Structure 1
């Protein structure tokens, strides 16, 4: 989704209600390793976050897998988000929310 320097997605109602941003498995390498803290900054707000996972069987009991996410409150269904690495600070990412 997007280029190598940006992770972008449209926020689902599930993400908005539960306060998280899904991270697609093929985009995990864009972020620090699973469970490692990093800074996510939106305008003047910055939070220490991490990519976490939880086991899921949404594809059926014979296809268990993991879902990956970053906790982030205040998103609305239909928002488009872009996360970019900060080239000046290691382990810092910038979040833009488009309404």
Structure 2
């Protein structure tokens, strides 16, 4: 991700947000022309479920970007499942029972 932000502005602008879409590169929280701005570049991507990804916003440069973010999101999904299991145990519920109840939501972590 750091390598993406080190690129020239023109390279990053190729992945700019489009109206009506949260994904992409930009300064998303600008709501009016008169707003006092604290400059902050951001890059928002849908990661999970993987079929929700809009690949036009996924840069091919730097070469490691897509693979690194894919690996990161897979590992983060594992952490979510682990935390849910611990939460279930703390509540005195069988972990698999809680995971069954949350099954539809957990599909988004796949």
Compute the TM-score of the two structures, normalised by the length of structure 1: 0.28
Report which of the two structures shows the higher radius of gyration computed on alpha carbons. Answer: 2
**Greater helix share, structure number:** 2
**Greater strand share, structure number:** 1
